[in-house]
Structure 1
Amino acid sequence: MRTGTISRKTAETAIDVTVDLDGSGTYDIVTGIGFLDHMVEQFSRHSLIDVTLKVDGDLHIDQHHTTEDSALALGQALAQALGDKAGIGRYGTAYSPMDETLARVALDISGRPYLVWKAGFTQEKLGEWDTELIEHWFHSVAQTAGITLHCELIYGSNNHHICEALYKGFARAMRQAVERDPRKGSAIPSTKGQLGG
C-alpha cells in the first residue's frame, strides 16, 4: 500500500497526517482554520488521495504556523507514500474552471522542489484565512513532497473561486502524476534511474 503517516510536534503546532495515494478521496480534516479545511478537502476529493489531517496550532498568535506546518507535514506524508516513485506517471497538468475563473496547474514529482506562482488575490481574507498564506501553503507542500509545481491564474475575479480552482487544479494534476502507469512496471520514471538530486 502506498501510504504515508507523519506526526510533527513543535512548540508551535502538533500535527498528525495520513495519506493513501490509492484511496477514493475520503478525508477527515481539522486544522482550526475553516477555509483551509475546505481547501484540503477539495484536494483530497479531486486527487482521490485519502487524507486525514489533525492540527493543534497556536492560532491565538496567527495562522502562519498552522498553515505552514500542516503543509510541510502533508508534503512529507506524500513523499513517504511515493517511496522511490517507481512506476508513477510523474507529470500532471490540469486546467481548472470555476465559473468566471480558470486556473492551470502543472507539476513534476521530480524530487526537486520548486514553486512558480502566478496568482493573486484582491482581498486579505477568505473566511478567517489570510490570503497571503495560500501561496505559502503551496510552497511548503512542494518543498517537502519534492514537487516542481507551477500554479497560474489565467483569469478570474472572485477570490473564493480563484483559490478553489487552484486547489482543484493541484488535485487533478497530482492524481495524474501519482497514478501507476502499467507500461512502466516498476521502472523509475527517469533516465538517471532515480528522482531527486
Structure 2
Amino acid sequence: MSSPRQATIQRNTFETKIRLSLNLDGSGQAQVATGVGFLDHMLTLFAKHGLFDLEVTCDGDTHIDDHHSTEDIGICLGKALLEALGNKAGIVRYGSITLPMEETLVTSALDLSGRVKFIYKVEFPTEKIGTFDTELVEEFWQAVAANALMNLHLVLHHGTNSHHISEAIFKGTARALRQAVAIDPRQTGVPSSKGTLST
C-alpha cells in the first residue's frame, strides 16, 4: 500500500486530554491507558479483533464519573477512522457479523457511507459493570459513528451477562470494521455509484 492508513488525533478540553493513534493495517497491538479500566479492556479487545494497532492515552475528569472520558475517546476514535480511510478508494465499505459471546448474541452491521445513522437496540440487565455505567457503551458507539460518518446498527438478540454483552459489541464491531476497511482487489475507485463516500 502506497500510503499508511493511519491517523493521530489529539483532543484537549477542560474535561479530557486525549491522544489517540490508529493504524488500520496493524496486527492488533494495543497500548491503552484511558483512566477507565473497563474501557481499557474493551479497547484492547477492539484492537485485537479488528487487527488494528491502537494507542490511547486519556487524562480525564474521572473523579466526576467516566462519561466525558468514554464519550471523548469515542469522538477521537471516530475521527481517526475517518482520517485514516482517506477518500475510501478500494475499500469493501460494508461489514457485519453476528457474534456469540457465551450466552450472548449480538449483531454489528455498518456502512462507511459518509452519512451518520446510529441504531442501538441493546438493553443491559444491570446498570453497572463493576464501576462502569453500562449506558456509556451506547454513548461511546454513538460518538464513534457520528465522527466516523458511518451507519452503525447494534442489536442484542439475547444475553443475560452485562460484561458479555459489552464484550460482544466491541468484538463484533471491530470485526465488522475489519471487513469494511479491507482493500478489495477487484474494487477500482470508491465503492459507490455516486462516485464519493464523503459528505
TM-score (norm 2): 0.96
2:95 to 92, 99, 102: 92
**Structure 2 CA distance, aligned partners of 1:127 and 1:147?**
30
**Structure 1 CA distance, aligned partners of 2:62 and 2:5?**
32
Where does residue 104 of structure 1 map in the other structure?
107
Where does residue 142 of structure 2 map in the other structure?
139
Q: Deviations over 1:143-170 (max 9, x none)?
A: 1011100000011111111110111110
Maintained 8 Å contact 2:87/2:198: no
Where does residue 161 of structure 1 map in the other structure?
164
1:1-197 correspondence runs (5 A): 1-185=4-188, 187-197=189-199
**Structure 2 CA distance, aligned partners of 1:17 and 1:132?**
23
Q: 1:127, CA displacement in angstroms?
A: 2.0
**In angstroms, what is the RMSD of aligned CA positions?**
0.8
Q: Calculate percent identity across the aligned residue pairs.
A: 52
**Structure 1 CA distance, aligned partners of 2:140 and 2:160?**
21
- Unpaired runs of 5+ residues, structure 1, are none
Give 3-state SS (helix, strand or coil) of 1:96's partner. strand
Maintained 8 Å contact 2:20/2:76: yes
- Runs of 4+ in structure 1 deviating by more than 3 angstroms, as ranges, are none
Maintained 8 Å contact 2:35/2:59: yes
Maintained 8 Å contact 2:94/2:180: yes
**Structure 1 CA distance, aligned partners of 2:191 and 2:198?**
11
- Unpaired runs of 5+ residues, structure 2, are none
Q: 1:124, CA displacement in angstroms?
A: 1.4
Maintained 8 Å contact 1:34/1:128: no
**Structure 1 CA distance, aligned partners of 2:161 and 2:62?**
26
Number of positions where the alignment pairs a residue of Structure 1 with one of Structure 2 = 196
Maintained 8 Å contact 2:120/2:154: yes
